[in-house]
Amino acid sequence: MHYLDYAATTPVPKAVADEMYRVLTEEYGNPSSQYELGRRAKELVDACRNTVAEALGCEPGELFFTSCGTESDNWAVSAACWKNRHVGRHIVTTAVEHSAVLEACRWMEQQGWQVTYLTPDANGGLTAEQVLAAVREDTALVSVMLVNNELGSVYPIREIAEGLQAAGSRALLHTDAVQGFLKVPFAARDLGADLISLSAHKIGGPKRVGALYLGGRIKNPRPLLAGGGQEGGLRSGTEATAQLAGFAKAVELRRAQLEESLAHMSEIKAYAVEGLTSIPGLRVIGGGAAPHILSVSLEGYPSQNIVNDLSAQGICVSAGSACHRGKPSHVVAALRLPKKVAAGVIRLSFGPETTKEDIDAAMRALRLHQTGRLPML
């Protein structure tokens, strides 16, 4: 099998799985229990928080664990809107956000909020000036992702934060950094965002665990879940200690070889661009700077047919975000591409384990389209 869909999810290293198994079988206490087994579990949760916070570049007390990136995004939108409800009822976001942000914003629209959806240029680019121009006096929240999950576009979060501060805006800034964490170097303390969403399974950790950074301007946020008071009383529920241990171990492994991993993924992406663009009718979509995401279009061929055909040959790529489940991508639609180009977009995404042989296999399979094996539109 040639796995080229790391933006959807990542393989779990043995060291991560081993640590999760150890916690499941040896450190299974409830962190809220007062006896030794419970105290050890509490210490484990604290250690995991320290590990992830250090990698993010924030204080442990600013990081709150969630069940996934989607939960983090939803919580960020609702918490920011609640915090700034007296500022106004306007949100600025982009038309190419992950559906976890877009659907949360649409839910706010149903509550009477106004949302401005900014459209990127044909290459997926978005400027800080474009974002700042949309901010009004009654803007409560600006939500712009750090790295687009389909195009690999890196958006200027620091410049947006600086612009908001210079303008004296009271709007809070959220960024979905699920595709940026440990893939595009940044630190929360320098980025300037008030809320930052993370997910473990995009970096070699388990599914169903994520985190939300709440910066210094988020004082006394509205709790996401009421109950036993876990996560500082903001996100109650017994901590998923094994998942947290896996998250922390994945962070440790990525950080230990971060420079090498980023350089390797950049090399793989450059190799893929050079090889794939030699295929007649294939073009790169967007100008994404992230090292691990590459979207291309085989003009005239339906993307889902391409995905299915490559799958039959043991090659895993996607037709966009895995969350679309085969439906047309709102990200590609926002680029306003010609119909046949948009219909043929597929995404390849890479990880530290990706090899040039994986790329070669994908190129061989795509060249079969030149024989007319797949029906054209």
* Residues recognised as catalytic: 323
Classify residue 169 by its DSSP letter: -
Look at phi and psi of residue 260 and say left if phi exceeds 0, alpha if psi is from -120 to 50, else beta. Answer: alpha
Q: For helices 356-367 and 258-276, what crossing angle results, to 10°? A: 20
Alpha-carbon distance values, 94 to 82, 155, 257 (Å): 20, 11, 33
CB atoms inside a 10 Å sphere around CB 25: 9
CA angle, 179 then 181 then 183, to 5°: 75
Length of the chain: 377
Rounded Cα distance between 10 and 20, Å, is 16
The DSSP bridge partners found for residue 214 are: 195
Instruction: Decide if 172 contacts 203 (C-beta within 8 A).
Output: no
Distance CA 202, CA 49 (A): 18
CA distance 281 to 274: 14
First to last CA, the chain: 29
